[in-house]
Amino acid sequence: MQVQVNGITMAYNDRGAGLPIVFLHAFPLNRTMWAAQEQAFSSQFRTITLDLRGHGESDAPLWHYSLDQAADDVRSLMDALSIREAVFVGLSMGGYILFTIYRKYADRVKGLVLADTRAQADTEEGKEARFQMAQTAYKKGPSAIADIMIPKLLSPATVQTRPEIVQKVRSMIEGNQMSGIVGDLMAMAERHDSVRFLREIACPAQIIVGELDQATPPADAKLMAEQIPGARLAIIPGAAHLSNLEQPEAFNQIVASFMADLAKRRTV
């Protein structure tokens, strides 16, 4: 499905009925990374997966990108779909966008699942690495980005023994336009530090991290869990950064239990 938001065409799926769950994907992927979650949750909840600006089937204009803009796009999609409040699941860059959504539109958020993400802004070294990756994307195209990203996103065991997952990730990355990849890198390099803001998060929060995640390691997840009042932390054994793809059953079980607890709160 497609909708016009903030001057672009945005692609999304809207499945099932009930309390909405909005899934925000990682860099440089697209909404299909949530296929196993969409399948598991759409029998009980309204599940929305979307291609962020610059990704998949959404437009990737050649212009300035920011996490504020991404948050506004998500809010506009919710408005277009008449969704007042939702639970959000954001993985990695999706989590960075979630902090921005909460900062700007807390009244639209019923609960937060922050997966394989971090609250800290980029270090100077991290910003330099983004700049270098943007140059690689510009000179060599998305397949060079796939070569760099796959070992960061997946565990060595997945890379060696699960070619179907590696191929799925590669084709998501290669399906992106350069403008989107480079735009995201700039947006992530410019993002705010959210560490001090963690204590102000007042809605239920679940933190998830793959035990082997090197991009946003368990120490980053523990920091969020310590600082967000009442947050819960789950570490998924054997998973790296894309924990929802590598260990979908474990990931879904954690989200299902979070959703069940949210439902209990609503009825008390």
Task: Give residues 198-217 in contact with ligand MLT (rule: CB under 6 A).
Answer: 215
- Nearer Cβ to ligand MLT, position 27 or 65? 27
- 155 lines the binding site for ligand MLT (CB under 6 A): no
Asked if 188 interacts with ligand MLT (CB under 6 A), we say yes
Rounded Cα–Cα distance for residues 229 and 50 (Å): 29
27 binds ligand MLT (CB under 6 A): yes
| Those residues with Cβ within 8 angstroms of residue 139's Cβ, 6 or more apart along the chain or in another chain | none
Among 49, 58, 92, 243, binds ligand MLT (CB under 6 A): 92
Q: To the nearest whole angstrom, how small is the minimum distance from the Cβ of residue 18 to ligand MLT?
A: 28
Total residues contacting ligand MLT (rule CB under 6 A)?
A: 7
The distance from CA 28 to its chain's CA centroid, rounded to whole angstroms, is 10
Identity of the amino acid at 94: G
176 contacts ligand MLT (rule: CB under 6 A): no
Spatial separation of the C-alpha atoms in residues 108 and 85, rounded to whole Å: 4
In the complex, least distance from residue 130 CB atom to ligand MLT, rounded to whole angstroms: 8
Q: How many other CB atoms are found less than 10 A from the CB of residue 185?
A: 23
Q: Work out whether 98 is an interface residue with ligand MLT (CB under 6 A).
A: no
CA distances from 64 to 61, 181, 214 (A): 9, 12, 28
Based on the shown chain and the rule CB under 6 A, indicate whether residue 145 belongs to the binding site for ligand MLT: no
> Is 48 near ligand MLT (CB under 6 A)?
no
Dist CA 210 CA 206 (whole Å) = 14
Q: Does 93 bind ligand MLT (CB under 6 A)?
A: yes
Judged by phi (left if over 0) then psi (alpha if -120 to 50, else beta), residue 25 lies in: beta
Residues at the contact surface with ligand MLT, assessed by CB under 6 A: 26-27, 92-93, 188, 215, 241
